[in-house]
Amino acid sequence: MCGTVITWRGPAPYHFLRLPPEDGAAVEAVAAAVTYGWGMVPVRATLGATTWTTSLWPRDGSYVLPLKDAVRHAEGVDVGDPVVVRVAVLGV
């Protein structure tokens, strides 16, 4: 999937990649089988040379992928940067 890094300025800033609608629909098709609550979907994500395990968060009719600071720093990614991330849903 590809998209632009966004930020959410809550009590602590978080960085995300919003899934395009077609990718969100594909996740939704398997979400009920793998979610562990609140609609969270466990995934393995790869950005550049960095792979990590996290969960997709349901948001605005699709999902967002949290980008850990360690991942962003390792790959030189900042807010507004376009990125390509490989995402595999776990437990399918």
Structure confidence at residue 39 (pLDDT): 92
Q: Percent of the chain beyond pLDDT 90?
A: 76
Q: Would you give the DSSP letter of residue 78?
A: -
Say whether pLDDT at 13 is over 90: no
Burial annotation 52-68 (CB, 10 A radius, 16+ → b, else e): eebbbbbeeebbbbbbe
Structure confidence at residue 8 (pLDDT): 85
Which spans in 9-90 are helix H?
A: 21-34, 69-75
Which token pair is 58? 């349901």
Three-state DSSP at 22 gives: helix
Which token pair is 88? 């595999």
Query: In CATH, what number does 2-89 get?
Result: 2.40.30.100
pLDDT tens digits for range 40-66: 999 999 999 999 999 999 998 899 999
